[in-house]
Structure 1
Amino acid sequence: MSIPFRYRKLGYVALNVTDVERSTKFYTELVGLDLTERVPGGPAFLRCSTDHHNMVLYPAAAPGVKRVGFELESRAELEHARKHLESLGLAVHDISAEERALLRQGDGLRFVEPHSGLTMELYTRMQQMAVPFQQRLTKIARLGHVVLSVERFDEMAAFLHAQLGFAISDFVEGHFAFMRCQPNPLHHSFAIGRSQGGNHLNHVNFMVSDIDDIGRAMNRMQKADIPIVFGPGRHMPSGSIFLYFLDPDGMTIEYSFGMEEFPEKGAREPRMLEPHPLALDTWGSLPKPAFGKVGQIERQEAA
């Protein structure tokens, strides 16, 4: 499969939160992100790398996903993306110079994924911080992936694969697709599942580099009375050890350790997985009812 443009990585997720101060405290003191910058009356920028931000918290009346940003390999790839998206009839909007200055980012564009209403951002550069990520609580390696639950699952999966260059690593037919942003090797940087109740966030993942961080996080969350909604366990598709818990607005956050990686050429074919609880957790646990329920997609109409 030829890809229309080349990704570098999942760069950041922008979340709407009902109390920026409360959520900033949670993500710094319990999740372990570093606060890069707080704009009075506006967003808070947090990171788990040398990037200026990997998560942005925006004040809002209701919690949810504002947008998801992917970094491309170069400005040339950004122009390839622009021409390709316009050829599909999508409305492509450049990020203004004023907002790029706020985001500490280079050139970028946004468009609306037509089947979910999700605003997707493609950009080329981000300010690199002089002080390394501190890893005060947890050895977070990266922002791992964002997962959405969507009603038009089949249409969105086909669009992401055929038009946006996402490769399917594994899937549960008609229900779930794990996708990697090529040529990034990680088993999935983005995934979607079928929803029966509107389009919304399923979870945001941070990958850790030490399996002990999963156990320490479980104890840390329990001591702070943070609801744990799934795990610890092991996912069959990626092989990851996982733990899911809720942020102050009830959005689901995951820590995971380990993940299959794919070569750019000669990658295995995607596996068709049985829709069975053991595919979610080979250790046999089940998610609690609050798992993956909160977080509306900030609706933007596709033009």
Structure 2
Amino acid sequence: MFTLQQQTPARLHHLHVVSDDPARLAEFYCRQLDLEQLPGEGPTLVLAGPERAMTISPSGQHVEPHYGYALSHGDALERLRANLSTHNVRCTMLDDPLFECGAFLIADPQGRRLVFGLPVQAHAGKGVPARLQHTVFQTTELDRVVRFYVEKVGFTVSDEVVDDDGTVMTVFMRSDDEHHTLAFFRGSGNEWDHHCYETSEWNDIRDWGDRFAAAQVPIFFGPGRHGPGNNLFFMVTDPDGNRLEFSAELQHVDARTPPGVWPHAERTLNSWGRAWVRT
């Protein structure tokens, strides 16, 4: 079976978000996450920094968000495109300022858009370590969405969170050796849940916490440790209400490791204490 982890490893490289106030959102990410706005034409803002980047388009431009996954070389990108073609997944060419020419977009059954490509030259910025690492969604059709990403795209399930009646509530999926680069929670709506930056160690979590405290941006979940992935974490929000997670010590998973199963309980989401449980 084709898997991203074994055949064409992919990592989350950047986000494309849509905002009612792009300038305000860009100022937040430049100030708090050490991103710099790059020169460019048109209404879309391009921000890049040390191992993290994003583009921001204004609302009302008929532009949808997408989530950019980077591959290591052109042959891998073509192998992935060929695999998607065999599963009748439509690949649409996309001009993305943070990817080289040849990037393509796919849409899942509910319309979320992932873009695969080769990154342009890395931006040599400085700042506290925090590599853009995963993104998470809430969905009303968890089973259908997970089948798409596993059977057609090539993600691998690392862990599932299961309710008392056997209903799968959360699925963590990987596209390389890290525990998850994509995850889904079963929810009452379809929305972007959060995105995460992986730091180097616990002291980085402390430093990021101090940075947000100095800016009077409160932590709303954490600090704590997740069960699935075993990572330390905390979460804050940006001016648009998007949730950011900062993480350390995320588990690496061998390709032969079967999925784990966890109970749907607060201690699964935060072994240190109270948890934010989606409904």
Q: Quote the RMSD (CA, aligned, Å).
A: 2.5
Residue of structure 1 in register with 2:150 after alignment: 161
Residue of structure 1 in register with 2:46 after alignment: 45
- Please, which of 245, 254, 257 is the counterpart of residue 254 of structure 1? 245
Instruction: Confirm or deny that 1:191 pairs with 2:186.
Output: no
Instruction: Confirm or deny that 1:204 pairs with 2:190.
Output: no
* TM alignment of 1:166-177, pairs within 5 A: 166-173=155-162, 174-177=168-171
**Partner AA of 1:146 in structure 2:** T
Structure 1 unaligned runs (5+)? Answer: 294-303
Instruction: Confirm or deny that 1:216 pairs with 2:238.
Output: no
In 2, Cα distance between the equivalents of 1:186 and 1:46?
Answer: 25
Instruction: Confirm or deny that 1:139 pairs with 2:129.
Output: yes
Instruction: Confirm or deny that 1:124 pairs with 2:118.
Output: yes
- Contact 2:3 2:156 (8 Å CA) reproduced: no
Structure 2 unaligned runs (5+)? Answer: 163-167
In 2, Cα distance between the equivalents of 1:204 and 1:143?
Answer: 8
Identity %: 24
**Partner AA of 2:148 in structure 1:** F
Instruction: Confirm or deny that 1:25 pairs with 2:19.
Output: no
**Partner AA of 1:149 in structure 2:** Q
Return the structure number with greater relative CO, CA threshold 8 A, min gap 6. Answer: 1
Residue of structure 1 in register with 2:18 after alignment: 16
Once the two structures are TM-superposed, the CA of residue 209 in structure 1 deviates from its matched residue by 1.2
Once the two structures are TM-superposed, the CA of residue 251 in structure 1 deviates from its matched residue by 0.9
**Partner AA of 1:9 in structure 2:** R
Change (3 A) 1:2 1:219: same
The C-alpha deviation readout for 1:115-157, integer Å capped at 9, x for no partner, is x21111111342233xx2201xx222x1110001111100111
Residue of structure 2 in register with 1:86 after alignment: 85
In 2, Cα distance between the equivalents of 1:6 and 1:24?
Answer: 32
Residue of structure 2 in register with 1:298 after alignment: none
Once the two structures are TM-superposed, the CA of residue 45 in structure 1 deviates from its matched residue by 2.2
In 1, Cα distance between the equivalents of 2:249 and 2:28?
Answer: 24
**Partner AA of 2:177 in structure 1:** P
**Partner AA of 1:68 in structure 2:** Y
Partner of 2:150: helix, strand, or coil? helix
In 1, Cα distance between the equivalents of 2:34 and 2:10?
Answer: 22
In 2, Cα distance between the equivalents of 1:72 and 1:22?
Answer: 31
In 2, Cα distance between the equivalents of 1:254 and 1:280?
Answer: 13
In 2, Cα distance between the equivalents of 1:193 and 1:168?
Answer: 13
**Partner AA of 1:286 in structure 2:** A
In 1, Cα distance between the equivalents of 2:60 and 2:122?
Answer: 31
The C-alpha deviation readout for 1:139-183, integer Å capped at 9, x for no partner, is 22x1110001111100111111111111111111311111110xx
- Contact 1:235 1:282 (8 Å CA) reproduced: yes
Residue of structure 1 in register with 2:106 after alignment: 111
**Partner AA of 1:47 in structure 2:** A
- Contact 1:48 1:143 (8 Å CA) reproduced: no
The C-alpha deviation readout for 1:64-107, integer Å capped at 9, x for no partner, is 97001112233223223323323333332112xxx35x445232
**Partner AA of 2:79 in structure 1:** H
Instruction: Confirm or deny that 1:3 pairs with 2:11.
Output: no
Once the two structures are TM-superposed, the CA of residue 22 in structure 1 deviates from its matched residue by 1.1
In 1, Cα distance between the equivalents of 2:60 and 2:197?
Answer: 25
Residue of structure 1 in register with 2:225 after alignment: 234
* TM alignment of 1:282-293, pairs within 5 A: 282-287=271-276
The C-alpha deviation readout for 1:182-205, integer Å capped at 9, x for no partner, is xx21111111111112x1110010
**Partner AA of 2:271 in structure 1:** T
The C-alpha deviation readout for 1:243-266, integer Å capped at 9, x for no partner, is 1011001111111111111234xx
- TM-score calculated relative to the size of structure 1: 0.81
**Partner AA of 1:195 in structure 2:** G
